[in-house]
Amino acid sequence: MAQIHPTAIVAPGARLADDVVVGPYCVIGKDVSLAAGVSLKSHVVIDGRTAIGERTRIFPFASIGF
């Protein structure tokens, strides 16, 4: 099961692989797909029709898909 920090917000409809790690204060939109091994550090925001490929690491304060 994905590891989602309690302060993160993941919209219903977002697709997360089983081993995804979502760090503190991240926000994931409803049309986002995160593949296996994706790791979001803290304060990452991903929205829009966005797919993040396998084993991608996204570092703090990145905004993707806007």
pLDDT at 16 over 90: yes
Q: How far apart are CA 39 and CA 57, in angstroms?
A: 5
pLDDT at 1 (0 to 100): 87
The CA radius of gyration of the chain, in Å to the nearest whole number, is 10
**What's the mean pLDDT in 57-64?**
98
3-state helix, strand, coil in the chain (%, to 5): 0, 35, 65
Determine the Cα–Cα distance for residues 17 and 66; give it in Å rounded to an integer: 22
Q: Which two tokens stand for residue 13?
A: 């409809």
For the chain, the domains span: 3-54
- Model-level pTM? 0.95
Tens-digit pLDDT profile for residues 21-51 = 999 999 999 999 999 999 999 999 999 999 9
